[in-house]
Amino acid sequence: MILVTGGAGFIGANFVLDWLNGTGEAVVNLDALTYAGNLHSLEAIRGDPRHVFVHGDICDGALLDSLLASHRPRALVHFAAETHVDRSIHGPRQFVRTNIEGTFTLLEAARRYWSALPGAERDAFRFLHVSTDEVYGSLGPDDPAFRETSAYAPNSPYSASKAASDHLARAWHHTYGLPVLRTNCSNNYGPRQFPEKLIPSMIVNALSGKPLPVYGDGAHVRDWLYVGDHCAAIREVLARARPGETYNVGGNSERTNRDVVAAVCALLDRLRPDAAGSYERLIRFVADRPGHDRRYAVDTSKLERHLGWRPRESFQSGLELTVRWYLDNRRWVEQVQSGAYRDRVVIDRCTGGDA
Residues classed as catalytic: 133-134, 158
Rounded to the nearest 10 degrees, the angle between the axes of helix 257-271 and helix 198-207 is 40
**d(Cα 32, Cα 103) in Å, to the nearest integer?**
14
3-state secondary structure (DSSP) of residue 149: coil
Residue 271 Ramachandran class (φ > 0 left, ψ -120 to 50 alpha, else beta): alpha
How do strand 246-249 and strand 75-78 relate by DSSP bridges?
unpaired
Continuous H helices in 4-102:
10-22, 61-71, 85-90, 93-95
**d(Cα 350, Cα 33) in Å, to the nearest integer?**
12
First to last CA, the chain: 16
Q: Which uninterrupted H or E stretch holds 31?
A: strand 27-31
Angle at 13 between CA 12 and CA 15, to 5 degrees: 65
**d(Cα 286, Cα 239) in Å, to the nearest integer?**
44
Residue 72 Ramachandran class (φ > 0 left, ψ -120 to 50 alpha, else beta): left
Residue 169 has, within 13 A of its CA and on its CB side, a CA count of: 31
Helices and strands (H, E) in the chain, number of each type: 14, 12
Burial class (CB in 10 A: 0-12, 13-18, 19+), 352: exposed
